Amino acid sequence: MYSLQEFIPKFSSHHWPGFQSIGPDFNPGTIVFHQKIKEFEYRIPGSHPAYTTTTNLPKFMENYRLDLSVLCLAFLVIFQPKDGFSQVSDSLDGPEKVYTGIYLINIYDLDINEHSFYADCYIWFRWKGDRDPMNIEFVNAVDKWGATLTPFYEEPKQIEDGFWYNGMRYEGRFYHPFDLERFPLDKHLIDIQIENVDYPIDSMVYLADTNASFIREEFQIPGWDILGASSSSKGHHYPVDFGNVGQTNTDYSNITFLFSLRRPLNYFLLKLLLPLVIVILASLGALFIHPSSIDARISLPIGGLLSTVFLQQS
């Protein structure tokens, strides 16, 4: 481990000269490089240990880890996370670290009008410690009466390296506000958010497991292209005490699994734009008819106008 103050003089001059321009007043907080850098942490100065940003490095970049670490540091210095909704990671002490992953089996009933979708997935937890992370709340779940939750084991199972392991299969309906401003070229990041019911962020932190988000290989949603999956871990600040006077800590660790979808381009080109282009060309044809044929010339754009109204309403 290096502190940032130790790290900068060693590497900044020949790896990234511009780094020194940050100035002597810059308070960098704590930075940790693991011996073999697969991930890179940065803690905001004066913040809770749990408010730490982590950047995972892809495997192929391991050979370039040093340079990349400096770049990551530069990025984090420029774009420091804001208070109250910050990235979290496995900090040095205090909160129990729970590595969490998801395997998506199905997404169905994607309802743009109701702003919801159904998901069927496996979720697993791997942790060291006495606190059981299984008592979770799906933050954006709706119609919870219809959800099914089946745990892997009745009691957590001990696995390699002293980790405890358990998980569940969950099927239920989730809320997602679909933004249709870019329809029919809209992309959506539908999400499944998890928080612990019992333990706030200073007791338990959910972190993305290695390759935390998987989608079943044959999985498809008719009418949509699936672009990929990712996960992010953050602190979720509740700005109320829920009526519990004296309660001060209302931050909970939140892990979000994101699935990226978009409509196929063919839908826009063939189903929406092509008929419109034909109508446009037919209307323009009016300007190529002899000017003395007024009836024929006027009827084409009028037909085009009616067709356009019909296409828009359909």
Query: With the CA atoms of 255, 101, 133 and 49 taken in that order, what torsion angle do they form, in degrees rounded to the nearest 10?
Result: -50
Q: Does 305 bind another protein (CB under 8 A)?
A: yes
Tokens of 220: 């498809």
CA atoms of 229 and 223, how far apart (whole Å):
18
Select from 130, 264, 100, 86 the least CA-distant residue to 192: 100
Q: Output 74 or 286, the one with its CB closest to another protein.
A: 286
The window from 42-50, 105-113, 210-218, 287-295 that contacts another protein (CB under 8 A) reads 287-295
Report which of 183, 166, 109, 118 is spatially closest to residue 146, judged by C-alpha positions: 118
- Would you count residue 227 as binding another protein (CB under 8 A)? no
The Cα–Cα gap between 201 and 294 comes to 76
Q: Binding segment for another protein among 55-63, 111-119, 156-164, 300-308 (CB under 8 A)?
A: 300-308
> Is there binding between residue 21 and another protein (CB under 8 A)?
no
Does 294 engage in binding with another protein (CB under 8 A)? yes
Q: Is 221 in the site for another protein (CB under 8 A)?
A: no
* Number of residues engaging another protein in binding (CB under 8 A): 31
Identify the residue whose tokens are 């009028």: 302
Give the separation between CA 56 and CA 41, rounded to whole angstroms: 9
Terminal C-alpha separation, the chain: 62
Site for another protein contains 275 (CB under 8 A): no
By CB under 8 A, tell whether 314 contacts another protein. no
Give the interface segment with another protein, choosing from 37-45, 113-121, 225-233, 277-285 (CB under 8 A): 277-285
**What burial class does residue 272 get, using C-beta atoms within 10 Å of its C-beta: 0-12 exposed, 13-18 middle, 19+ buried?**
middle
Residue 308 binds another protein (CB under 8 A):
yes
Q: Which H/E stretch holds residue 126?
A: strand 116-127
**Separation between Cα atoms, residue 214 and residue 207, nearest integer Å:** 15
Closer of 155 and 179 to another protein (Cβ): 179
Structure tokens at 83: 């208070």
Residues 167-206: x where in contact with another protein by CB under 8 A, - otherwise, as a string? -------------xxxxxxx--------------------
Q: Considering the rule CB under 8 A, would residue 239 count as an interface residue with another protein?
A: no
> Taking the complex as a whole, how short is the minimal distance between the CB of residue 305 and another protein, in angstroms?
5
Determine if 94 is a binding residue for another protein (CB under 8 A). no
Nearest to 204 by CA among 101, 131, 124: 131
Instruction: Name which position in 38, 216, 237, 297 contacts another protein (CB under 8 A).
Output: 297
- CA 148, distance to chain mean position in Å, is 24
Contact by Cβ (8 Å): 40, 72: yes
Collapsing DSSP to helix, strand or coil, 311 comes out as helix
60 binds another protein (CB under 8 A): no
Which of residues 1, 274, 278, 298 is near another protein by CB under 8 A?
A: 298
Residue whose CB is less far from another protein, 1 or 305: 305
Shortest distance in whole angstroms from residue 115 CB to another protein: 15
Residue position matching structure tokens 């969950």: 170
Closer by beta carbon to another protein, 161 or else 181: 181
Residues that bind another protein (CB under 8 A): 180-186, 272-273, 276, 279-280, 283-284, 286-288, 290-292, 294, 297-298, 300-302, 304-305, 308, 311-312
